[in-house]
Amino acid sequence: MNRIQLYQGDITEMHVDAIVNAANKSLLGGGGVDGAIHRVAGPKLLEECKKLNGCETGQAKITLAYRLPCRFVIHTVGPVWHGGQIGEPAQLASAYQSSLQLAKKHQLKTVAFPNISTGVYAFPKQQAAEIAISTVHNFLETDDWFEEITFCVYDDENYGIYEEILNQDG
């Protein structure tokens, strides 16, 4: 599991090949981590996003990072939580999986993820963390491309949840 790292802080400060943005389907900016990424990247990021024609839930698209210290931004759309009976867990797993596939396709070795869907989209944090970690873990087990995948958590509650699961996994 040593290719999985846990970090608490602002994802816009990370010097990785790609940070992942928890975007919405329009890809035209929003609040939370999306707002923070666009603020730091500057207006050229929005200009590039406007050309992408949005993104479906569970899919991912890539842009340059402009003024961010990382090289690329992978924009993925997690599901809005509606109670968990309409495919939200599979859609969340797909958001992580699609982001990793896209990063690999672009030959990126280090990627940082925020806690997709656990803010405004209201996905329960414990279940979201289990899905995020198992999806990344399974990818790394079957594919040795990536050097390091970092879970960038922002709030203390998510930090505690991630720490516990990652310690269990050894």
Residue ranges in contact with ligand ADP by CB under 6 A: 10-12, 22, 32-34, 36, 78, 114-121, 152, 154-155, 158
Compute how many other C-beta atoms are within 10 angstroms of the C-beta atom of residue 29: 17
Backbone angles phi, psi at 110, to 5 degrees: -130, 130
Q: How far apart are CA 10 and CA 72, in angstroms?
A: 16
- Shortest separation between residue 109's beta carbon and ligand ADP, angstroms: 21
Cβ closer to ligand ADP: 82 or 141?
82
- Shortest separation between residue 154's beta carbon and ligand ADP, angstroms: 4
**Between the CA of residue 25 and those of 10, 61, 99, 127, 134, what are the distances in Å?**
23, 11, 15, 22, 24
Beta bridge mates, 100: none
Q: How far apart are CA 6 and CA 53, in angstroms?
A: 32
Cβ closer to ligand ADP: 78 or 103?
78
Cβ closer to ligand ADP: 22 or 165?
22
Active site residue 34: yes
Cβ closer to ligand ADP: 9 or 143?
9
Backbone angles phi, psi at 111, to 5 degrees: -135, 140
Considering the candidates 10, 34, 144, 169, report the single residue annotated as catalytic: 34
Known catalytic residues are: 34
